[in-house]
Structures are given as structure tokens and as C-alpha cells.
Chain A
Amino acid sequence: MTHFDEAGAAVQAALDAGARYADARVMVRRTEAMSARDGDVEDLGFDESAGLGVRALVGSGWGFYAVPELSGPAARLAGRRAARIAAASASVAGSPVGLVPAGAVEASWANECVRDPLGVPLAEKGDLLVRATAAAKEAGADLAEANYSVWDTRKWFVSSEGHRIDQHIRECGAGVSASAFGDGEIQRRSWPSWRGQFGTRGWELVEELDLVGNAPRMAQEARALLTAPLCPTGETTLVLGGEQLALQIHESVGHAIELDRILGWEAAFAGTSWLDLSRLGSLRYGSELMNITVDPSFPGALGSFGFDDEGTPAAKRHAVRDGIWVGVLAGRDSAAVAGLDYAGSVRSDGWSRLPMVRMTNVGLEPGPHTLDEIVAETADGVFMDVNRSWSIDDRRLNFQFGCEIGYEIKNGRLGRMVRNPTYTGIGPRFWQSMDMLSSETVAWGTPNCGKGQPGQIGHTGHPAAPARFTGVRVGVRG
């Protein structure tokens, strides 16, 4: 069963109502999520959401309307209303809107999925979370929590330029965490990260995580952190694990290269960017080891797809090459404003939300080292991993991150565990100080990237490996 007919009816209705361009996407999404605590299942839910969203361009004004009904009359109503809203936009109009060419595509795409996550028996999934939390509890956790989430999304996209694309994207992931309560302080350790690891893969991804096997170590480390010395304060050499580096990329590169931010379209809420388009192709973002790519075709990463929500095919592209800023995340209208010839990074988090510029898979290309080599080459520094808190300014320059765990590095070896490790810096200075980079890349998934009004949650991927940075301020405290 397809829903091209409803999407096509919405597009035609918008055109009939005066739109010069229109597109529509029908999305049907099923989600399943379970959480467990201290050896018991805590919550289990299944959600189904189905509807149609249509976008219309009238003159230089955009309008968007969404309905939860998949019928011809509802689709035509949505198309007409989108055009009416677009007409109201024109009353406070900006510059003329253009769209970079996309080329009409008729296609079908689905990601690889060995074991359908929704087909795995609930008892098996529940047993996994129960056993993982029980194992952490037995190993000394005061609080043990585990969760998994599954998303199964089907989309049908039609545009007035002739696109007809359907996609089936299956995503899942899971994680376990252990907390230890001290006197006025809580320490938490999570495997493989706080929310877990997520990707566009089947349940095999979760099976590979070995939540039960890693849970006891999380409990032991959380307990040990309560009595570990505080992270030292001052400037030092910082080695970051891959999970933390993934979020560093997300916050201080991924959001900064979003073209809508650069153009000021997100100025009031998400913010702008320190990047100036006039310096695209010449600005030094980081050291020569820094090669950032935008790659929605990365197999299994959480930000992967066949086509974005404007019908642009997935393609790998450099955002930073040898430390120089060379590319952005763009949509068809923002690219036209900026005079660029590519788009491909526009998505919505559901049928009821407007597609907008979003990260796909924004990652760091592998380097020549290993983590062991990086530590061995470090005389004095701190190693930190697994994100605990993140904060960055509205231009994506000034950041402060906290990690769950840290270790001193002395004379090429990991030393004492340190608690409450934090570091702070300014994006381009930080990236220019990167002098060693591992080849041990993992495509970390971030299933909770917030942007837009009304709010949208994006799923993004971040291939990353451990790396070393020099002259970083660590141990920031209140």
C-alpha cells in the first residue's frame, strides 16, 4: 500500500490555490520504547502516528499545514490551507525565494536491517533490560536504569517538480546506566553512553552492545567515582574518548555549519553561527587533522537516509577539509540564498512538522593513531569520556562539557580516576589544538537533537574516534 495519491492530491490542491511550488510527505511511524529500573520493567509504550504535511510557496512566502487523516479530501484541505498560510506570510515578506535544482526523482529506499526490532519478542527485550539493571544493582549501584527505543518510519514524498519517493527507515538502540549516591552528590556511569547507542540498523545493534556484560563495571565505576579526587583545575592536555568527541562535533561543528543558522533564520531561538559565508573555503576551523564530512549514506549511522525530506539524494560531502571550512548543511531555499549549488540536509521529525535544515551524519574522518598511542605519547594530561552535560553559546563558539569519568595521564599511562571532569573552550581554538587523532571510529547516534519552533527532535549520527587537544582549560567548577 502506498500513499502517493494523498500526497499528490495535497500538492495539486496547493498549486490550485496559488502556490508556485508545493511538496507533501505522508509519514507513518511506529515507535516502541521500554525502560527498566533496578531489575523491573518500569515503562513500556507503543505509539503510532500517521498523517500528511504539505508545504506551499506562494510568491516569497512559505506555508505549512498538517493533518492526521490519510484521505483525499483531508489532503486537499491541507494543500489549500498551506497555500492560505503562505499568502499570509507574504504580508511580511523578505527576499525572493529560490530553490536550487533537485531533479525529479522516482525512487524507493530502505536501510539494511538484519533483525526487525519490532519483530523481536517483547519478553526477550524486557528480559535484556531486567537482567542488565539487575546486574548493575548486584554490583553495587544505588540506582540502575536501562532503556531501548525503536522507530519504524515509512514516508511517501511527492513534489510539484515530479518527485515520487518512498522510504522505509528502521532505527533502534539501547543503553544501561548505574548511579551511586554519595553525601550530597550523585555519580553515574553509562554504557555505552547515557542514552545508549542508536543507529539505522536492526536489533543486531543492541545485541552487539552487551548491556548485561558491561553493567557491573558501570556500577563499580560509579561507586569508585564517589571517592575519587576531583578533576584537576587548569590548562592541560586533554584526551577525549570517541563518545564525548561525537557530542563535541555535534555541538561545535554540526550546528555551526547549519546554513539556516548562518543566514540568521534561527537567530531568536537556536541561535546563529560564528561562521561567515564570505570565508567559506578559506577559514581555518581546526588543525590539518580535522576532516569533517557530512555523509547521510554512512551505513547504519543514525542520520542515514536515501533522500532528505526535499527529495535530494544522500551524498557524502566535506564540511572541513584539512582544517579548512569548505561546506555547510543546506536546504534548497537556503542554498539558493547563499549562492550554493547543493542541498540535501533538510528533514522533519514527523508529518506534522515543517522540514528544516538538520544534521545528518556529521563526523570526523579517522586519523593515523590509536587511543593507546595517544595516551603513550602524553606526558601529562587528563582523559575524559562519556558525556554528562553540555552547554554552548548561541553562536556555537563557547562550550563547556562535563563527562562521566576521567583519568589522569602521567608519563604516557592512565593514572588515577578523577570525578566531575569538565572542560571548556572556544570552538576554532580548540579544534586547532587537535594534534593526535585515532583511527578507531564509531558512528555514535544522537536521538535527541532539538531545534525549531514548534520543537522538533532530530536523529543524527557522528562518526568519531578518540583525539588529543592541547592547552585546554579543565576542572571548571561552581
Chain B
Amino acid sequence: MSAESHVAAQVVDLVRELAGRSAEVEVLVRHDAEALTRFANSAIHQNVADATTGVRLRLHVDGRTTGGSTTVTGPDGLRALVERTLAAARVSPADPAWPGLTPPAALHLSAGHHGSGETSGLEFGFDEATARADPAERAARVRDFVDAAGGLETAGYCRTVYTSAAFANSAGQSAEGRTVEAAMDGIARSGGADGVARLASSRLSGIDGAVLGARAAAKARAARAPVELPAGHYEVVLEPDAVKDLLENLATFGFNGKAFAQRQSFAELGRQQFDPSVTIVDEPLGSRGEPAPGLPFDDEGTPCRSLVLVRDGVTTAVTHDRTSAAQAGTGSTGHASPASRSWGPTAGHLRLEAADATPAGGAAPAGPIAESARPLVGRVTRGLLITDFWYTRVLDAKSLVVTGLTRNGVWLIEGGEIVAAVGNLRFTQSYPQALGPGRVLGIGRESVLLPESWGRARYAAPALHLAGWHVTGNASG
């Protein structure tokens, strides 16, 4: 039994002691050790680490529900948490939407292949070396990134995160698991142009700072002396970093079970809403040789599993916690989080399936182009190659119309080749519409594992060739 499991069981016992056996209780104990080495102007300027254990408790007593958490995990702190939460529950308003506790259920410990019946055979993977990584190992990767940029100014981070967690509830469900993540994300800067390279991995040894630094520098050099283009609809090739933004927004606003139940999402189950080439799956347990990026259970103790959200262009599922599932008359998909009851359950490990075969036609020369995008660029008569999106915000949640800007490199493609760097552009575009039937002209063969810049979600994205993208102006105005 892990230290976290021991604390979780303690808290369940405490609640029973103080509130009786009729109280419904669930406890999540989570230990996170995060270390992040940040660099700018080609030097490390922020270098942080923390190790925190937090206990999250949810109670349902006499028809009333309250949640609470603490980082004070000694006996007095745990008792104070229980007493405080119980006292609050007794004077809280009634909770008619309480969905009940997760019943005992076994964890799915091996990664599946989006429901096709094929399994990767992976056990729930964990890299001890990454969990124990020290500041010098992260600094070494920063040094490699800086050196590989060949004198260009660089900035970014290298991080490792180790999580060990346990869940217990009064219905008899208990679970424990641990996970580890490494990521590097950096830019190189040249003459006012930036190039980016980022990668997530379940092993720090899988992160090569030199490879990433060289890639970022190649992009920055190729992005110098940009031209400006008029507003309009452009055929585009989106590199994996830009595709990640589509996946993030689809997860947050489209496949969100609460938004779906409240008719705020575009999602319609069973309907062909995307191009037939589009299959999107949430993979918290990993696949394709990558160990699990997330814990094997959610904050309500529901076992996580692969979930196909879109298969061959047909929307097949949305993500649920127990509350949104009850509202929708279905079961939880294992996406509960501290925020899911208020903001809705969202997927954190989306994969857009890469193409099985290289798209027909010649590939463009490497240059600044990501590997996944080269064959796609080679098929474009006139269009844009976009590396990354920035500050995307939803204008209308239902249609998922998003405005944002390009970042870290845009190029004009003519006759299958890059002909000019382009300045950053502002766009306003419905994401589901951009991926709609007939709008996806090609998908790259290679998926790239990408970290979320802000939180700990992870995405697997290939490049995408889309028929149209609505550019509303130049970033320069």
C-alpha cells in the first residue's frame, strides 16, 4: 500500500467515525513533485521545484454535498479537513444532482488501441529515472538546446513531473497509481522571427535538447524577412503544434460532457460532423510504445480507458464525470477533476490519428517544415504553412468559432514549395467547420507528442492539410 493509499483510507475512516456509516465519502490523495528549469536570453533564469501532497475530500451527507482539500496532511490537518467539510455539509443547501459514488471497479492497466480490439501489450509504464531526475539533468538539456541554436537567442523550459496518487471511497472502490512526465519546449529567435520545437515524453531520456534546439533555430532562420498577405480564405497545412490547439479547444468546448448536456456544444452523437479521415481518441493510458501519460483513475475513482470521440468523422462520444453522465443518462468516462463539476469534464490526452500511408504526391524539401507536414506541403498549389497558434479564444461556444493568431513561423506555399516567410496573422475560424466533411485534404503520417504549455495535458498530433482557414488580417494591423 502506498503512502497515499494509507492517507486515503485514514480519511475515509475518520469520516465514518465522525459522521456515521451513512455518509458517502470519496478521497483522493495526490503527491506531485514538479521541477521546471526555465531559460530566456539563452540562460537559465528561473529554476523551481516543489513536492506537495494534497488531500481532496468530497462528502454527501443527508442530501447535501461539500468538497474540501488541504495540503496539511498530518493527523491534526486531516481531522480538521474532515470536521470542516462535515460542518459545511450540514449547513449546505440540498444537492439534488448528487450522482452517487463510484462502485468497486478494476483498473484498466494496459493501453488499448482506440477500441479496435488491438492492444499494445504495454503494462502501465513508469520511468524511475525521470521521477528521480535532478536539476543538473534538466540544465544539461537546456545547455544542449542553447548550443544547438548556433548563437541564436533562445528561451523555453525543461520539466519533469512525478505524480503518485490513491483514491478510496465509502462504496468500496480503491485505487492507486503513479505516473511521470518529461517535456521540453523552446524557441530560437532570429531577426524578429521565432521558431519553436517542443516534445513531451514519459522519459526524460527521450528528450534531446540538441535536436529540439536545432529544429527551433532552423525555423527561426527561415522565418526572417516575412511578407504580409491580405485577409481571406487560405488553404493551409497546420503543423502538429497548431493541430494541438484544435484538439485542446475541441476537448474543452466540444467534447465536454457538461457543455454537451447543456446544449452548449456542437457535438451530436452518431452524426458525421468531421471529414471521414478524422479519428480522435482520448488515451490516458498511452499507446504506441508510450507509457501512460496520466493516472489510471479519475478524481471520482472511475477507471480511465481509451475513449473514441470521433471515428471516421462520426462523433461517437463526449467525456463525462459522474454528474454530467447522470444528466446525460449514461456512465462516467473517467474524466472527473476538481473543476469538472463546475466547468465540465474534459479530455487531457487526445490523439488525432495519423494517416496510415504517406499522402500521394511529392514531399516538399525539409527546410523549416516538420516531418509530418512535408508530404502535405508538397501537394499545395497555393496556401500557408502554419507552425503554431497563440491566444486562441472562443467567440461562440456552440459553433466553436475561435479567434487567435499564428506564432513561431508562417510560410507561403506555391507549387508545393515554400516561397516566402509570412508575418503573423489573425484568424477567426470555426474549428469543427475547418475539419468538416470534405475539408480535410490530408493528414501526416507521424504524430508528435506535445505538452500543454500551461498545464499537464498531453496531445498526439500529426500535421493537417485543410481546404480553408479564414485569415482576418495581419498581426501588424
Q: Which residues of A contact B37 (CB under 8 A)?
A: 88-89
User: Is B116 an interface residue, CB under 8 A from the partner?
Assistant: no
Q: Mark B386-427, 1 if CB is under 8 A from A, else 0.
A: 000011111111110101110100000000000000001010
Q: Residue among B37, B72, B156 with the most chain A CB within 10 A?
A: B72
User: Is B350 an interface residue, CB under 8 A from the partner?
Assistant: no
User: Is B36 an interface residue, CB under 8 A from the partner?
Assistant: yes
B67 pairs with A46, CB closer than 8 A: yes
Q: Mark A83-102, 1 if CB is under 8 A from B, else 0.
A: 01111111111110000000
Rounded to whole Å, the gap between the CB of A10 and the closest CB of chain B is 13
Q: Which residues of A contact B397 (CB under 8 A)?
A: 186
Given the interface pairs A81-B49, A122-B92, the reply to whether A92 lies near B391 with Cβ below 8 Å is no
B48 pairs with A454, CB closer than 8 A: yes
Q: Mark A62-77, 1 if CB is under 8 A from B, else 0.
A: 1111111000000000
Among B71, B88, B91, B342, contact of A43 (Cβ-Cβ < 8 Å): B342
Rounded to whole Å, the gap between the CB of A330 and the closest CB of chain B is 15
User: Is B46 an interface residue, CB under 8 A from the partner?
Assistant: yes
CA of A50 to CA of B53 in the docked complex: distance in angstroms? 11
CA of A51 to CA of B134 in the docked complex: distance in angstroms? 22
CA of A35 to CA of B187 in the docked complex: distance in angstroms? 40
A429 pairs with B477, CB closer than 8 A: yes
Given the interface pairs A48-B72, A389-B395, A391-B404, the reply to whether A93 lies near B428 with Cβ below 8 Å is no
A46 pairs with B85, CB closer than 8 A: yes
CA of A40 to CA of B422 in the docked complex: distance in angstroms? 52
User: Is B279 an interface residue, CB under 8 A from the partner?
Assistant: no
Given the interface pairs A61-B44, A65-B50, A92-B43, the reply to whether A398 lies near B68 with Cβ below 8 Å is no
CA of A294 to CA of B39 in the docked complex: distance in angstroms? 28
Among A87, A127, A267, contact of B93 (Cβ-Cβ < 8 Å): A127
B67 pairs with A44, CB closer than 8 A: yes
B395 pairs with A49, CB closer than 8 A: no
Q: Mark A391-424, 1 if CB is under 8 A from B, else 0.
A: 1111001101010000000000000000010101
A394 pairs with B391, CB closer than 8 A: yes
Q: Which residues of A contact B470 (CB under 8 A)?
A: 478
User: Is A109 an interface residue, CB under 8 A from the partner?
Assistant: no
Q: Residue among A64, A397, A400 with the most chain B CB within 10 A?
A: A400
CA of A68 to CA of B97 in the docked complex: distance in angstroms? 34
CA of A126 to CA of B92 in the docked complex: distance in angstroms? 7
Closest to B66 in A: A44
B143 pairs with A92, CB closer than 8 A: yes
User: Is A213 an interface residue, CB under 8 A from the partner?
Assistant: no
Closest to A50 in B: B72
A186 pairs with B475, CB closer than 8 A: no
User: Is A119 an interface residue, CB under 8 A from the partner?
Assistant: no
Q: Which residues of A contact B42 (CB under 8 A)?
A: 92, 94
Tally of B interface residues using CB under 8 Å: 96
CA of A269 to CA of B183 in the docked complex: distance in angstroms? 14
CA of A251 to CA of B53 in the docked complex: distance in angstroms? 34
CA of A258 to CA of B246 in the docked complex: distance in angstroms? 29
A85 pairs with B47, CB closer than 8 A: yes
Closest to B434 in A: A478
Q: Mark A355-397, 1 if CB is under 8 A from B, else 0.
A: 0100000000000000000000000000000001111111001
Given the interface pairs A40-B95, A268-B157, the reply to whether A476 lies near B428 with Cβ below 8 Å is yes
CA of A88 to CA of B51 in the docked complex: distance in angstroms? 18
Given the interface pairs A44-B66, A186-B398, A265-B41, the reply to whether A64 lies near B46 with Cβ below 8 Å is yes
User: Is B135 an interface residue, CB under 8 A from the partner?
Assistant: yes
Closest to A422 in B: B395
Among A127, A130, A264, A455, contact of B155 (Cβ-Cβ < 8 Å): A264
Given the interface pairs A93-B44, A127-B93, A268-B187, the reply to whether A352 lies near B50 with Cβ below 8 Å is yes
A130 pairs with B136, CB closer than 8 A: no
Q: Which residues of A contact B238 (CB under 8 A)?
A: none
B81 pairs with A48, CB closer than 8 A: yes
User: Is A121 an interface residue, CB under 8 A from the partner?
Assistant: yes
CA of A40 to CA of B341 in the docked complex: distance in angstroms? 13
Among A121, A391, A422, contact of B91 (Cβ-Cβ < 8 Å): A121
A65 pairs with B48, CB closer than 8 A: yes
User: Is B358 an interface residue, CB under 8 A from the partner?
Assistant: no
Q: Which residues of B contact A278 (CB under 8 A)?
A: none
Rounded to whole Å, the gap between the CB of B70 and the closest CB of chain A is 4
CA of A85 to CA of B139 in the docked complex: distance in angstroms? 10
Question: Which residues in window 93-124 of B have CB below 8 A to A?
Answer: 93-97
User: Is B186 an interface residue, CB under 8 A from the partner?
Assistant: yes
A68 pairs with B72, CB closer than 8 A: yes
User: Is A425 an interface residue, CB under 8 A from the partner?
Assistant: yes
Q: Which residues of A contact B93 (CB under 8 A)?
A: 40-41, 123, 126-127, 130
Q: Which residues of A contact B159 (CB under 8 A)?
A: 453-454
Rounded to whole Å, the gap between the CB of A438 and the closest CB of chain B is 26
User: Is A450 an interface residue, CB under 8 A from the partner?
Assistant: yes
CA of A317 to CA of B67 in the docked complex: distance in angstroms? 42
Q: Mark B109-153, 1 if CB is under 8 A from A, else 0.
A: 000000000000000000000000011101110110010000001
CA of A142 to CA of B390 in the docked complex: distance in angstroms? 32
Closest to B50 in A: A66
A268 pairs with B92, CB closer than 8 A: no
CA of A465 to CA of B71 in the docked complex: distance in angstroms? 41
Given the interface pairs A41-B95, A66-B52, A424-B473, the reply to whether A49 lies near B407 with Cβ below 8 Å is no
Q: Residue among A63, A353, A454 with the most chain B CB within 10 A?
A: A454
Rounded to whole Å, the gap between the CB of B296 and the closest CB of chain A is 24
Q: Which residues of B contact A349 (CB under 8 A)?
A: none
User: Is A339 an interface residue, CB under 8 A from the partner?
Assistant: no
User: Is A42 an interface residue, CB under 8 A from the partner?
Assistant: yes
Q: Which residues of B contact A61 (CB under 8 A)?
A: 44, 47
A400 pairs with B403, CB closer than 8 A: yes
Q: Mark A257-289, 1 if CB is under 8 A from B, else 0.
A: 000000111111101000000000000000000
Among B139, B392, B398, contact of A185 (Cβ-Cβ < 8 Å): B398
User: Is A209 an interface residue, CB under 8 A from the partner?
Assistant: no
Q: Which residues of A contact B52 (CB under 8 A)?
A: 51, 66-68, 352
B395 pairs with A420, CB closer than 8 A: yes
Closest to A476 in B: B472
User: Is B38 an interface residue, CB under 8 A from the partner?
Assistant: yes
Question: Which residues in window 226-276 of A have CB below 8 A to B?
Answer: 263-269, 271
User: Is A47 an interface residue, CB under 8 A from the partner?
Assistant: yes
Among A62, A143, A453, contact of B36 (Cβ-Cβ < 8 Å): A453
Ordered by A's residue number, 21 sampled pairs between the chains whose C-beta atoms are within 8 Å are A42-B342, A44-B66, A48-B71, A63-B135, A65-B48, A68-B51, A68-B53, A88-B44, A93-B43, A95-B43, A186-B396, A263-B41, A265-B41, A267-B155, A392-B391, A393-B390, A398-B475, A400-B472, A429-B477, A454-B159, A476-B428
Q: Which B residues have a C-beta under 8 Å from some C-beta of A?
A: 34, 36-54, 65-73, 80-81, 84-85, 88, 91-97, 134-136, 138-140, 142-143, 146, 153, 155-157, 159, 185-187, 189, 194, 196, 262-264, 338, 341-342, 390-399, 401, 403-405, 407, 424, 426, 428-430, 453-455, 470, 472-473, 475-477
Contacts A40-B96, A88-B138 aside, 17 further interface pairs with beta carbons under 8 A come to A44-B66, A44-B88, A44-B92, A49-B69, A62-B46, A63-B47, A66-B48, A68-B52, A86-B47, A89-B139, A181-B264, A265-B45, A268-B186, A391-B393, A393-B424, A398-B426, A424-B426
Nearest first, the 10 A-B pairs at minimum CB distance are A94-B43, A88-B135, A66-B50, A426-B477, A268-B155, A478-B428, A45-B67, A126-B93, A64-B48, A267-B155
